[in-house]
């Protein structure tokens, strides 16, 4: 490993995907420069560094560029492999399970919750039902994990799947507020709610989770944009 | 205790024409892992499939010593890690190279596959847009090969990205045939076309690829169904 590590992260603080990476960097105790970008006016640096997707987060490490939040998290874990904690388990099967749930959060959960935000009427109702079903599946996963005595998805410390879901927490809460829906129900998903409390109260995490007011503002703006577009039709 | 898993009992649930299943079969074949292939009926999924993949109820599912692993690229990484001491290595060693491999594998799933499917399913303007997107996506992969100057995305040997794209190869080529549209133009993407040729002929890959004729029939039938006018709209027609 290089003696002098230069680590930079481009993003905006309210982004759930940027939050994931900031959590991973903080857990590993990695110093970095945060370069705040503007979602409405993306910088040349961002567009050149991630020409394929033009999205945040983007991690720079000693001149190397890494994109896509969970790919960045794996990169951080593998590069700083001697910094505790390990974000991925050692056993190949456990690693497959961690990747499975992280992919589930991205491919299913995030999509259904987004559908609640931008949808109206029947479409929104369907998205709410899908989201509830997706959270129930996460509840099942936690139950299976807690049977092994684990407090988190992967173990007794936060890991890959916890980071994947944890980055989204403030956004999910904001979406519930703005749309006046309950997606995470303490009666239906008690283990998940306990996990949310536990995760959010970890000192390192608490300092990184975005300002709920700022996220709420952004989410309200997005809702207005999408619902007025529909009304305009 | 040895570092790598004893082979144990390996089963793969799938259908031979699914690009996702093909990816896993390629990985198993490259590693020389013996497995039982359990052919599934997609219209009538087995209890084993539904129990092994209750979240998505999809194929492929790899069952290794009774434990199920789901999602094709997650399975491929699992195969690489569980049989880590068995050559060839499907993933590079360096964390940055691994990140790049994962990036392009994700790109193939998140961008190329959907645009290919839209090309297959679409008509008129919608299809034209999907074709343009697919070509743009393939050109990005062409650029990757241009920049590395290597025969495979993984370097001198087949790696994660080769498997991710390779699983899709027969699907892409069949979509081209069925829709009569060229996505992989040898003039526009010579390296990618050369890669496709080399990949399909690689030992251990060939046997994992689906039967092209059968797959063409299947896709032609599907396309015909998608593009035929709804019943009742034909006046006096048979």
Interchain contact, A93 vs B64, CB within 8 Å: yes
Looking at the predicted structure, is the pLDDT value of residue A5 above 90? no
Instruction: Note the pLDDT of residue B227.
Output: 87
Smallest CA–CA distance, residue B62 to chain A, in Å, is 11
Rounded to 10°, the helix A92-104/B72-82 angle is 160
- Whether A100 sits inside 8 A of B70 (CB atoms) is yes
Give the C-alpha separation, A198 to A190, whole Å. 12
Over 90: is that where the pLDDT of B156 sits? yes
State residue B35 phi and psi, 5-degree precision.
Answer: -150, 160
- Look at the alpha carbons of B63, B68, B72, B78 in this order and tell me if their dihedral is positive or negative: negative
Determine, for residues B74 and A99 on separate chains, whether the beta-carbon distance falls below 8 Å. yes
**Cβ-based contacts of A66 with chain B (< 8 Å):** 96, 99, 103
Residues of A in contact with B5 (CB under 8 A): 92
Contact A96 B69 (CB under 8 A): yes
CB-CB under 8 Å, B81 with A103: no
pLDDT in tens, A201-211: 999 999 999 99
Mean pLDDT of chain A: 94
Angle, to 10 degrees, between the axis of helix B95-107 and the axis of helix B160-179?
Answer: 20
Residue-wise pLDDT for B167-225, tens only, equals 999 999 999 999 999 999 999 999 999 999 999 999 999 999 999 999 999 999 999 99
- Please check whether residue A5 touches B, CB under 8 A: no
Closest in A74, A79, A100 to B102, CB measured: A74
Q: Which of A19, A6, A1, A9 is nearest to A170 (CA)?
A: A19
| Whole-number percent of chain B with pLDDT over 90 | 91
Closest Cα of chain B to A125: distance in Å? 21
A95 interaction partners in chain B (CB closer than 8 Å): 77-78, 81
The stretch A11-22 carries a mean pLDDT of: 97
Interface-testing mutation among B95, B102, B115, with chain A (most A C-beta atoms within 10 A): B95
Q: Both tokens of residue B84?
A: 């880590």
| Strands A58-61 and A7-11, sheet pairing | antiparallel
Which of A30, A87, A97, A100 best probes binding to B when mutated, by most B CB atoms within 10 angstroms? Answer: A100
The partner residue sitting opposite A71, judged by closest CB among B64, B78, B99, is B99
Cis preceding-peptide flag for A57 (omega within 30 of 0)? yes
Question: How many whole angstroms from its chain centre is CA A106?
Answer: 8
Chain B nearest C-alpha distance from A212 (Å): 30
Answer yes or no: do B74 and A103 touch at CB < 8 A: yes
Q: Is ipTM strictly over 0.90?
A: yes
The predicted pLDDT at position A146 comes to 84
Burial pattern A58-70, b for ≥16 Cβ within 10 A else e, equals: bbbbeeebbbbbb
Q: CA A20, CA A70: separation in Å to the nearest integer?
A: 8
pLDDT at B2: 40
Best of A1, A30, A49, A92 to substitute, by most chain B Cβ atoms within 10 angstroms, is A92
Q: How far is Cα A187 from Cα A96, in angstroms, rounded to an integer?
A: 30
Q: A 96-115 residues with CB below 8 A of B?
A: 96, 99-100, 103-104
pTM of the complete model: 0.94
Comparing alpha-carbon positions, the chain A residue that sits nearest to B144 is A52
Which stretch of A123-127, A154-158, B123-127, B195-199 has the lowest confidence by average pLDDT? A154-158
Between the alpha carbon of residue A87 and those of residues B48, B51, B74, B90, B110, the distances in Å are 32, 28, 17, 22, 24
- Sign of CA pseudo-dihedral B60, A108, A70, A99: negative
Phi then psi for A69, rounded to 5 degrees?
Answer: -55, -50
pLDDT mean over B36-57? 96
The predicted structure's pLDDT at residue A154: 82
Contacts of A67 in chain B (CB under 8 A): 103
For A92, which of B82, B102, B103 is closest by C-beta distance?
B82
Map chain A to HEC letters: CCCCCCEEEEECCCCHHHHHHHHHHHHCCCCCEEEECCCCCCCHHHHHHCCCCCCCCEEEECCEEEECHHHHHHHHHHHCCCCCCCCCCCCHHHHHHHHHHHHHHHHHHHHHHHHHHHCCHHHHHHHHHHHHHHHHHHHHHHHHHHHCCCCCCCCCCCCHHHHHHHCCHHHHHHHHHHHCCCCCCCCCCHHHHHHHHHHHHCHHHHCCCCCHHHHHHHHHHHHHHHHHHHHHC
Q: Are B93 and B84 in contact (CB under 8 A)?
A: no
| Per-residue confidence band for B128, with pLDDT thresholds at 50, 70 and 90 | very high
Cβ-defined contact of B96 to A64 (cutoff 8 Å): yes
- B178: distance to nearest CA of chain A, Å? 29
> Cβ contacts (< 8 Å) between B102 and chain A: which residues?
68, 71, 74
CA distance B24 to chain A (A): 14
Q: Which residues contact A187 (CB under 8 A, 6 or more apart)?
A: none
d(Cα A142, Cα B25) in Å, to the nearest integer? 31
Work out the end-to-end distance of chain A between its first and last CA atoms, rounded to an integer number of angstroms. Answer: 56
Query: Rounded to 5 degrees, what angle do the CA atoms A121, A123, A125 make?
Result: 70
- Predicted confidence band at B1 (pLDDT cuts at 50, 70, 90)? very low
Contact between A67 and B103 using a beta-carbon 8 Å cutoff: yes
The pLDDT of residue B3: 39
What local confidence, expressed as pLDDT, does residue B229 receive? 79
DSSP string, chain B: --SSPP---EEEEE-TT-HHHHHHHHHHHHHT---EEEE--TTS--HHHHHH-TTT--S-EEEETTEEEESHHHHHHHHHHHTTTSSSPSS-SSHHHHHHHHHHHHHIIIIIHHHHHHHHH--HHHHHHHHHHHHHHHHHHHHHHHHH--SBTTBSS--HHHHHHHHHHHHHHHHHHHHT--SS-TTT-HHHHHHHHHHHHSTTTGGGS--HHHHHHHHHHHHHHHHSPPTT-SSS--
All residues of chain A having their beta carbon less than 8 Å from the beta carbon of residue B74 are: 96, 99-100, 103
- DSSP-derived pairing of the beta strands A33-36 and A7-11: parallel
> Which sign, positive or negative, has the C-alpha torsion B79, B85, B87, B91?
positive
Q: Answer for the pair A28, A83: CB distance below 8 angstroms, yes or no.
A: yes
Q: Is there a contact between B140 and A75 if contact means CB atoms under 8 Å apart?
A: no
Measure the CA–CA gap between A3 and B223, rounded to whole angstroms. Answer: 58
C-beta separation of B80 from B27 below 8 A:
yes
């Amino acid at each position: 490993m290089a003696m002098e590590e230069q680590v930079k992260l481009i993003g905006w603080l309210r982004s759930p995907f940027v939050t994931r990476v900031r959590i991973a960097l903080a857990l590993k105790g990695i110093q970095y420069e945060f370069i705040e970008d503007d979602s409405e006016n993306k910088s040349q640096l961002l567009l050149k560094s991630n020409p394929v997707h033009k999205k945040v987060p983007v991690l720079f490490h000693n001149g190397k560029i890494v994109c896509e939040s969970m790919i960045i998290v794996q990169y951080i874990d593998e590069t700083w492999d001697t910094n505790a904690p390990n974000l991925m388990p050692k056993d190949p099967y456990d690693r497959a399970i961690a990747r499975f749930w992280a992919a589930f959060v991205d491919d299913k959960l995030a999509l259904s919750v987004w559908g609640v935000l931008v949808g109206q009427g029947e479409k929104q109702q369907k998205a709410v039902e899908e989201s509830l079903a997706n959270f129930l599946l996460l509840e099942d996963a936690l139950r299976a994990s807690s049977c092994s005595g684990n407090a988190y998805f992967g173990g007794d410390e936060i890991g890959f799947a916890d980071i994947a879901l944890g980055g989204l927490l403030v956004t999910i809460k904001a979406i519930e507020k703005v749309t006046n829906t309950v997606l995470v129900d303490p009666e239906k998903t008690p283990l998940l709610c306990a996990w949310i409390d536990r995760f959010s109260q970890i000192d390192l995490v608490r300092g990184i989770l975005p300002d709920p007011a700022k996220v709420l503002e952004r989410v309200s703006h997005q809702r207005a944009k999408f619902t007025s577009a529909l009304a305009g039709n | 205790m040895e570092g790598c898993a004893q082979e144990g009992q390996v089963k793969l649930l799938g259908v031979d024409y699914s690009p996702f299943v093909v990816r896993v079969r390629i990985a198993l074949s490259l590693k020389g892992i013996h497995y039982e292939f359990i052919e599934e009926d997609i219209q009538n999924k087995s209890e084993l499939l539904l129990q092994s993949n209750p979240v998505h109820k999809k194929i492929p599912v790899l069952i290794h010593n009774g434990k199920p692993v789901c999602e094709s690229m997650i399975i491929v990484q699992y195969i690489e890690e569980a049989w880590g001491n068995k050559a060839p290595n499907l993933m590079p060693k360096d964390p940055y190279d691994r990140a790049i491999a994962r990036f392009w594998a994700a790109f193939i799933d998140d961008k190329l596959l959907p645009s290919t499917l839209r090309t297959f399913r679409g008509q008129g303007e919608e299809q034209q847009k999907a074709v343009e997107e697919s070509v743009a996506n393939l050109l990005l992969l062409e650029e990757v090969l241009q920049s590395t100057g290597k025969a495979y995305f993984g370097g001198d040997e087949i790696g994660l990205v080769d498997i991710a794209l390779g699983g899709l190869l027969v699907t892409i080529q069949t979509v081209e045939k069925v829709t009569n549209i060229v996505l992989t133009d040898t003039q526009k993407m010579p390296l990618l076309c050369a890669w496709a040729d080399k990949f399909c002929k690689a030992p251990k890959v060939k046997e994992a690829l689906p039967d092209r004729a059968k797959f063409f029939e299947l896709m032609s039938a599907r396309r015909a169904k998608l593009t035929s006018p709804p019943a009742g709209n034909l006046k006096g027609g048979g």
